[in-house]
């Protein structure tokens, strides 16, 4: 039976062929021959720039650099060759990644959609004013503005604040202080500002703009009442500046032709006399910088090299009275001097008893100390539990950013500190630990210009939370979320708003002794921990050294021992890695990647 069915099928097949040949005589039927597989295209070859070995010797060690010619920026022929090889490198990269074009386009679209659309900075209060920068529609550069804090509500409700005038109330709401689009016209279509300082009387703005043709920063001073530039000072190669005499004098630092800050000048505003040279440092290895204390009582002058560090102070009320040495140590050290009610406070990591340290500490000394050398006393007894990372002063509070292992805390201490007791434990001063979200990886002080305000601004960072700009009222511990990017804007749930402890039922807030908070509303800090996990581990290396490891992954995409990983490592100076949330990592995490941070040479103290 099977043979009969097979015979019938063959007969039907031949009959169909016969019909086809009769109906379509021009059609020629041929047997199909499968094509041989084509060999894959040869992989693209990377460009091969010429090697021109040059021998270098340093510290009795010699080595050859075959590509040293690429660093000859003044050699026009070499730079033309560099342009050719850079173009070849770009084409090679495109060829290698050609099979990922669709993925590249998708990733680019994803990342672009997460970019913050609000390009304005949050208003910063200083005295009666709110200062901020914003970008006008269709403009490339921002505009520096201010408005009276008393008119803030009217500004927010005004439909067209860019006009700067509310016709319904007849009040000028916004003051444009500096339009960087106009500055770009002054500097050949390019506007890059390095420094900007408003005078303490809010009358002048001193700022430096980069002149790309001359490769230095140029100082200008603008009268904010009239919007005009002052005739003086107008200096070139300026690297630092500080106000004195309540805004009537400006001190600034000028660099030499090797870009070394070495000279300090004082300009008396409104005076027709030339600017006065206060200091010139002749040694090629010594650098100079200046800053004013937060209360504008002193201008501090730091002079440092690889072998020594010195700090001088200038009386801001009389900037021509000379410099007074207040601190000196061996080696290059971080030294910041502040003033509070007759005391100088020094925040430093200078060596102690000729032994280097890997942490900061605080010293203080009376301003009118007559001892030589000046005597400094420790403010706090060394505490292994709390390492001071940074400090900030106001008239009534000292705020400390402290770290316990990898865990950060933020606390305030009432000022003035008790005198005559010597060094004390931090806990003896009844520190108030301020609320923080979980998994904090970094706390950065804001500008906090207003020395007499009880509110201080900080930026709080976490691997699972977009950076949050937060204002803390130190008088009561309440906080207000000022700015935070909305990563989950596409979701229907409202996860991002204006988080604030003031709008929370304080009975549901539980603050423990170390500053961690627990809220019934777990989205008060706008964390992403519902979607992404953050975990800490201590991993033993091959030499038995303990390496702190932080990993972040998507809770939804977690698969045991199957997820691809990206490891960030850093092994220098006992510094912690930057673990802030970055929106571009979301594309990796959502595809199942695990992002890990290894603090390879971080030292627990």
Per the DSSP assignment, residues forming a β-bridge with 261 are 255
Euclidean distance between CA atoms 389 and 394, whole angstroms: 17
Lowest mean pLDDT among 190-194, 283-287, 364-368, 369-373: 369-373
Backbone angles phi, psi at 459, to 5 degrees: -105, 120
515 — pLDDT class (breaks 50, 70, 90):
very low
In the prediction, which pLDDT does 168 show? 53
Who wins on pLDDT, 532 or 572?
Answer: 532
pLDDT on residue 574:
66
User: Among 284, 295, 282, 363, which Cα is nearest to 328's?
Assistant: 363
- Binned at pLDDT 50, 70 and 90, residue 171 comes out as low
One-character DSSP codes across 118-172: --PPPPEEETTEEEEEE--TT-SS-EEEEEEGGGHHHHHH-S-GGG-EETTTTEE
- How confident is the model at residue 500, as a pLDDT? 62
Split at pLDDT 50, 70, 90, the class of 375 is very high
Q: What is the largest CA-CA distance in the chain?
A: 123
DSSP 3-state of 496: coil
**Over 80: is that where the pLDDT of 9 sits?**
no
| CA distances to 511, 548, 592 from 351, in Å | 37, 26, 46
pLDDT in tens, 200-237: 999 999 999 999 888 899 999 999 998 899 999 999 99
Compute the half-sphere exposure of residue 549: CA atoms within 13 Å on the CB side of its CA.
Answer: 14
Task: Indicate the helix (H) or strand (E) that contains 443.
Answer: strand 442-445
Q: What mean pLDDT comes out for the span 385-405?
A: 92
The mean per-residue pLDDT over the stretch 493-521 comes to 41
In the predicted model, what is the mean pLDDT of residues 535-564?
A: 88
pLDDT of residue 284 exceeding 90: yes
Q: Which residue has the higher pLDDT, 111 or 493?
A: 111
What pLDDT does 6 receive?
A: 42
Most confident of 110-124, 286-300, 395-409, 472-486: 286-300
Candidates 106, 98, 107, 177; CA nearest to 144 is 177
Q: How confident is the model at residue 571 (pLDDT cuts 50, 70, 90)?
A: low
pLDDT band at 573 (very low <50, low <70, confident <90, very high): low
> Across all residues in the chain, what is the average pLDDT?
84
**457: closest CA among 89, 438, 243, 467?**
467
Residue 169 has a pLDDT of 55
**What's the start-to-end Cα distance of the chain, in Å?**
91
Q: What is the rounded average pLDDT of the residues 72-90? A: 90
Which helix (H) or strand (E) element contains residue 9?
A: helix 2-23
More confident site: 519 or 42: 42
Tally helices (H) and strands (E) across the chain.
6, 37
Q: How far apart, in whole angstroms, are the C-alpha atoms of residue 442 and residue 271?
A: 45
pLDDT band at residue 277 under the 50/70/90 scheme: very high
Least-confidence region, from 47-61, 221-235, 512-526: 512-526
Q: Say if residue 124's pLDDT is above 60.
A: yes
DSSP state of 236: B
**216: which strand partners?**
211
Rounded to the nearest 10°, the torsion over CA 50, 52, 57, 62 is 70
Dihedrals phi, psi of 586, to nearest 5 degrees: -60, -35
Contact predicate 460/478, CB 8 Å: no
Distance CA(347)–CA(309), nearest Å, equals: 13
Q: pLDDT value at position 472?
A: 96
Q: How confident is the model at residue 2 (pLDDT cuts 50, 70, 90)?
A: very low
Least-confidence region, from 48-52, 247-251, 299-303? 48-52
Query: pLDDT band at residue 363, thresholds of 50, 70 and 90?
Result: very high
């Amino acid at each position: 039976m099977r043979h009969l069915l097979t015979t019938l099928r063959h007969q039907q097949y031949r009959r169909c062929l016969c019909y086809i040949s009769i109906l379509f005589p021009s059609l020629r039927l041929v047997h199909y021959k499968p094509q041989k597989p084509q060999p894959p295209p040869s992989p693209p070859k990377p460009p091969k720039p010429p090697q021109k070995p040059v021998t270098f010797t340093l510290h009795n060690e010699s080595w050859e650099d075959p590509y040293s010619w690429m660093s000859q920026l003044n050699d026009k022929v070499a730079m033309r060759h560099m342009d050719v090889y850079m173009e070849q490198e770009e084409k090679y990269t495109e060829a290698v990644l050609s099979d990922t074009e669709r993925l590249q386009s998708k990733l680019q679209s994803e990342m672009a959609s997460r970019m913050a659309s609000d390009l304005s900075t949050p208003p910063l209060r200083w005295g009666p004013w709110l200062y901020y920068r914003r970008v006008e529609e269709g403009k490339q550069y921002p505009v520096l503005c201010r408005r009276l804090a008393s008119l803030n509500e009217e500004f927010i409700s005004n439909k067209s604040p860019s006009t700067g005038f509310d016709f319904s109330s007849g009040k000028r709401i916004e003051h444009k202080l500096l339009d960087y689009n106009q500055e770009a016209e002054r500097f050949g279509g390019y506007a890059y500002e390095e420094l900007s300082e408003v005078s303490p009387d809010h009358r002048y703005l001193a700022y430096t703009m980069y002149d790309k043709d001359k490769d230095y920063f140029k100082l200008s001073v603008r009268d904010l009442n009239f919007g005009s530039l002052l005739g003086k000072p107008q200096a070139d190669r300026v690297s630092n500046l500080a106000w004195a005499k309540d805004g009537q004098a400006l001190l600034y630092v000028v660099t030499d032709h090797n870009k070394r800050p070495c000279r300090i000048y004082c300009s008396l505003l409104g005076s027709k006399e030339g600017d006065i040279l206060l200091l010139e440092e002749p040694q090629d290895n010594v650098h100079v910088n200046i800053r004013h204390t937060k209360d504008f009582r002193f201008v501090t002058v730091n002079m440092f090299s690889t072998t020594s560090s010195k700090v001088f102070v200038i009386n801001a009320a009389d900037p021509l009275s000379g410099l007074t040495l207040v601190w000196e140590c061996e080696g290059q050290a971080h030294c910041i001097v502040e003033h509070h009610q007759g005391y100088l406070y020094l925040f430093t990591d200078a060596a102690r008893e000729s032994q280097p340290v890997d942490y900061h500490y605080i010293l203080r000394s009376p301003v009118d100390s007559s001892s030589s050398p000046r005597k400094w006393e420790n403010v706090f007894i060394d505490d292994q539990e709390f390492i001071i990372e940074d400090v900030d002063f106001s008239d009534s509070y000292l705020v400390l950013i402290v770290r316990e292992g990898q865990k950060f805390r933020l606390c305030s201490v009432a000022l003035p500190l008790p005198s005559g007791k010597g060094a004390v434990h931090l806990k003896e001063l009844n520190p108030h630990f301020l609320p923080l979200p979980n998994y904090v990886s970094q706390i950065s002080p804001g500008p906090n210009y207003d020395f007499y305000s009880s509110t201080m601004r900080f930026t709080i960072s976490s691997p699972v939370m977009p950076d949050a700009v937060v204002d803390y009222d130190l008088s009561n511990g309440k906080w207000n979320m000022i700015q935070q990017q909305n990563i989950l804007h596409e979701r229907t749930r409202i996860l991002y708003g204006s988080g604030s402890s003031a709008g929370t039922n304080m009975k549901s807030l539980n603050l423990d002794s170390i500053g961690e908070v627990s809220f019934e509303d777990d989205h008060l800090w706008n964390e992403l921990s519902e979607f992404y996990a953050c975990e800490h581990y201590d991993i033993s290396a091959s030499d038995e050294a303990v390496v702190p490891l932080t990993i972040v992954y998507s809770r939804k995409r977690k698969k045991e021992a199957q997820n691809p990983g990206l490891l960030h490592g850093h092994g220098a100076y006992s510094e912690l890695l930057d673990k802030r949330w970055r929106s571009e990592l979301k594309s990796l995490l959502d595809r199942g990647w695990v992002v890990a941070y290894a603090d390879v040479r971080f030292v627990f103290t």
